[in-house]
Amino acid sequence: MRSCLDLQITSAHCPIEDKNYLTFEEEGLTLVFNEMRVCFDFISLLKRHLKQHYAITKEPLAKSLGIKGGKERTILDATCGTGADSMLMLAFGASVFAYERDQIVYALLLDALRRAFLVEFFLPFKDKFNLFLGDARNATSSITSSCQTIYIDPMYEIEKRKARQKKEMFALDGLLGKAGDGEELFHWALRVAKERVVVKRPIKAKKILDQVTASYLGKSTRYDMYISHNLEK
Ligand SMILES: C[S@@+](CC[C@H](N)C(=O)[O-])C[C@H]1O[C@@H](n2cnc3c(N)ncnc32)[C@H](O)[C@@H]1O
C-alpha cells in the first residue's frame, strides 16, 4: 500500500515535489527521490557487520577513531546521513552520539531506529546510540565532553558510477546537494574535540589541513585523523 505523506517539509537544498515524497511502505518510512526508494535498515546493517568479525586493530575506521577492544569509546558522529558509519562504529563496540541536520534524512533515521527498537537483537545497542536532529555544532558541552572523537563525513562530489551502486548516498546527494560548509564543521570540531577529529575523504582528495596526525586508508576512502590539542584550542 502506498500512503503518500504530504509533510510539506523541505530539505536543505531541494523541495520535496510530487515525484519526490516520503511514504510509508512495508519496510518502513521511505523516501522516493528521482525514482529511487530509500529506507534505512539498521538491523540488517548491524547483522552484516557483526558477521564479518572485524579485526578492530586492522580496520582503518576503527583505528582512526581510536577504538580498541576492551576500551570504552564514545564518538560524536557529526554527519549521520544514512547511519551506515554510525552502525559500523556500534559494531566496533563504540557508543555513538549522532547528529543529522536535515529533517527528511532525520525522519528516515528516526523511523529506522524505531523499527530497530522493536527487535531483540538491537537491545545491547539501544543505549549506545543516541540520535539528534540538528546541526552538530549545537551539541551541548556535556555531549562533546563525553566523546573522545568527533567524526565528520561531509558531502562531496561522488563519482556517479560508484554512487549509483550506493543508492542511499546517491539519493542523499541529490536531495542535499553539496553543502560546502564541511570545513567550518571541521574547525568547530578541532576546537571542541576532547581528543581527536576524524574526517572521511575520498582516497585521493586534498587534506583539509596539512597537520594531519595520521591517515588510514580504506579501498576508496581515507580517514584523516587530527589530534586536536595544539591545533585550534
Ligand atoms: C556524506 S553524508 C554522511 C554519510 C554518513 N557518514 C553515512 O554513513 O551515511 C553527510 C550528512 O551529514 C549531514 N550534515 C552535514 N553537515 C552537518 C552538520 N553540521 N550537522 C549535522 N548534520 C550535518 C547532511 O545533512 C548529510 O545527511
The answer to whether residue 111 is domain-embedded is yes
Domain of residue 170: give its range: 40-227
**22 neighbors 105 (Cβ within 8 angstroms):** no
Total count of domains within the chain? 1
The answer to whether residue 32 is domain-embedded is no
Closest residue by Cα to atom 19, ligand 1, is 135
User: Which of 12-26, 105-119, 177-191 is the most confident on average?
Assistant: 105-119
The answer to whether residue 189 is domain-embedded is yes
Residue 64, ligand 1, Cβ within 6 A: no
Residue with cell 554527519: 79
pLDDT tens digit sequence for 206-233: 998 889 999 999 999 999 999 977 565 5
The answer to whether residue 1 is domain-embedded is no
Element (H, E) at 21: strand 21-25
pTM: 0.90
The answer to whether residue 8 is domain-embedded is no
**What is the pLDDT, as a whole number, of residue 21?**
85
Sheet holding 3-5, edge to edge: 3-5, 21-25, 28-33, 36-38
Separation of CA 79 and ligand 1 centre (Å): 3
Q: In a mutational test of the pocket of ligand 1, which residue from 40, 49, 65, 80 has the highest number of ligand atoms less than 8 Å from its CB?
A: 80
Q: In a mutational test of the pocket of ligand 1, which residue from 101, 158, 167, 175 has the highest number of ligand atoms less than 8 Å from its CB?
A: 101
Sheet holding 149-152, edge to edge: 129-133, 95-100, 74-77, 149-152, 196-202, 221-227, 214-217
Residue 11, ligand 1, Cβ within 6 A: no
Residue 105, ligand 1, Cβ within 6 A: yes
Range with the poorest average pLDDT among 30-34, 46-50, 114-118, 122-126: 30-34
Sheet strands (E) in 85-180: 95-100, 129-133, 149-152
The answer to whether residue 184 is domain-embedded is yes
Q: Which atom of ligand 1 is nearest to the CA of 182?
A: 16
The answer to whether residue 185 is domain-embedded is yes
Helix or strand or coil: residue 181? coil
Helix or strand or coil: residue 66? coil
The answer to whether residue 2 is domain-embedded is no
Q: What is the mean pLDDT of residues 135-150?
A: 97
Separation of CA 1 and ligand 1 centre (Å): 30
Separation of CA 155 and ligand 1 centre (Å): 7
Residue 79, ligand 1, Cβ within 6 A: yes
Residue 99, ligand 1, Cβ within 6 A: yes
Residue 29 has pLDDT above 80, yes or no: yes
**What is the pLDDT, as a whole number, of residue 229?**
72
User: What CATH number is associated with residue 188?
Assistant: 3.40.50.150
